[in-house]
Amino acid sequence: MVKFVKVPPAHVRYVPASDELASKLSAEDVEQVAEIFHTPLTGAYTWNYRESDKTLRKLYKLGKERNWNADFDVDWNKTYPHTSSPMVEGGENPYETWPSFANLSDKEKLAFGWHSHAWTMSQFLHGEQGALLVSSQLTSCAPTYDGKLYAASQTFDEARHVEVFGRYLTDKVGVMYPVNRHLKALLDKILTDPRWDLKFIGMQLIIESLALAAFHVQKAIAADPLLRDILELVTRDEARHVAFGVTYMEQFLKSLAPNEIEERAQFAFEACRVMRERIVPTDVFEHHGFDVEEGRRRFLAAGQMDSFRNLLFTRIMPNLNKVGLLTAAVRPKYEELGLMAFAGLPNDGEINWAEFDKPLPGYVAAAE
């Protein structure tokens, strides 16, 4: 049964694991919630079936060769207790001095930690769905043969990413947060804009570069070995997607007039500003009855969170620089956010082919 809605769900859901009894499912669990969007898509056929870009074709071939399957390449039997923190020991806690947090019992603090984790994982999941929808649009819109093949292979990658994060949240976390409004606003803009290259910039250069950095951070701080395995597999694909984005956009933008490039540079900046806000887990504060504005202020003021936020931009900035979207007009705006310092770091157009060609980690589930 499908229920059509005008806005995404706004409440936290407790999701029963798929191996739990069907009797535990509520009507809401079996109901499919769909939110309609309209898009004026400008598609393109390609009548040239000859390979024209060696880098794109090599990325496409690697994607096929190093494909993984969540049913066999992930050991879903691995367990991690909810009586332990989902984060590795020793990390700093930005809420330590916040009375609303300090007054919680140890048990409540642990529950808050799991909710924060569920929120992060939920945003990964919703972002992956966004990537699935956008890459399927790009398959139609990309004007070249190599671009279409790659976008199609990425669409299948994103389907598997939605699958693994969805399964992890359902079977291992049990709590699902709604999509963060900043992430949703950017996804809405990307999905409904008629210009394919803006979709491309928003998804391949901004959201995916940020996701790639966020997955690396999460891999370092996640205590659950199963989650680290999942992130390892997803990160391999994302690294290819971002390399595709940088390579394709660098070539395309060279064909645009300066005023058209400027328009895209402004769009990229706006997207970065929105993504910077998306990192604050205000939905978790709200759910726990905390003062949302105070929580936001504390989160943004905490020194380590500042470096964490900035760390997430260490891939976006050099990639925007590489494709030519850090124009003289937008540089001062990035400067104001303290992000220009990252522009000179290595970019994802400098492909490490040996890394991309690494065999899969090696776990193979026993045949049933």
The neighbouring-strand residues paired with 174 are: none
Q: Which of 117, 161, 184, 264 binds Fe ion (CB under 5 A)?
A: 161
Cα–Cα distance list, 241 to 14, 56, 62, 96, 207 (Å): 32, 10, 11, 37, 11
CA dist 201 and 87 (Å) reads 32
| Positive/negative CA dihedral, 251, 63, 321, 300 | positive
Residue 80 vs 156, nearer CB to Fe ion: 156
Q: Are 18 and 163 in contact (CB under 8 A)?
A: no
- Asked if 233 interacts with Fe ion (CB under 5 A), we say no
Residue recorded with tokens 């939920």: 122
In the complex, least distance from residue 187 CB atom to Fe ion, rounded to whole angstroms: 13
Question: Using CB under 5 A as the criterion, what x/- string covers residues 115-144 for binding Fe ion?
Answer: -------------x--x-------------
Residue 141 vs 302, nearer CB to Fe ion: 141
φ/ψ of 225, rounded to 5, equals -60, -30
Question: Using CB under 5 A as the criterion, what x/- string covers residues 195-214 for binding Fe ion?
Answer: -------------x------
In the complex, least distance from residue 122 CB atom to Fe ion, rounded to whole angstroms: 15
CA dist 195 and 207 (Å) reads 17
Residue 243 vs 284, nearer CB to Fe ion: 243
In the complex, least distance from residue 158 CB atom to Fe ion, rounded to whole angstroms: 5
Q: Are 337 and 273 in contact (CB under 8 A)?
A: yes
Residue 139 vs 282, nearer CB to Fe ion: 139
Residue 295 vs 318, nearer CB to Fe ion: 318
Residue 158 vs 229, nearer CB to Fe ion: 158
Q: Are 315 and 212 in contact (CB under 8 A)?
A: yes
Q: Which of residues 290-319 bind Fe ion (CB under 5 A)?
A: none
Number of residues that bind Fe ion (CB under 5 A): 7
Residue 115 vs 199, nearer CB to Fe ion: 199
Angle, vertex CA 170, rays to CA 164 and CA 173, nearest 5 = 100
Q: Which stretch binds Fe ion (CB under 5 A): 56-64, 74-82, 155-163, 309-317?
A: 155-163
Q: Which stretch binds Fe ion (CB under 5 A): 73-81, 89-97, 189-197, 241-249?
A: 241-249
Q: Which ranges of 279-359 would DSSP assign to H, the alpha helix?
A: 282-287, 292-301, 303-311, 316-323, 331-336, 353-356
Q: Which of 160, 184, 240, 241 binds Fe ion (CB under 5 A)?
A: 241
Question: Using CB under 5 A as the criterion, what x/- string covers residues 60-99 for binding Fe ion?
Answer: ----------------------------------------
Strand ranges (DSSP E) for the chain? Answer: 2-5, 13-14, 32-35, 175-176
Residue 146 vs 208, nearer CB to Fe ion: 208
Cα–Cα distance list, 94 to 101, 113, 302, 307 (Å): 10, 12, 6, 12
Q: Which stretch binds Fe ion (CB under 5 A): 95-103, 223-231, 240-248, 320-328?
A: 240-248
Cα–Cα distance list, 184 to 48, 60, 189, 311 (Å): 36, 29, 9, 22
Residue 268 vs 302, nearer CB to Fe ion: 268
CA dist 151 and 141 (Å) reads 10
Contacts to Fe ion by CB under 5 A: 128, 131, 158, 161, 208, 238, 241
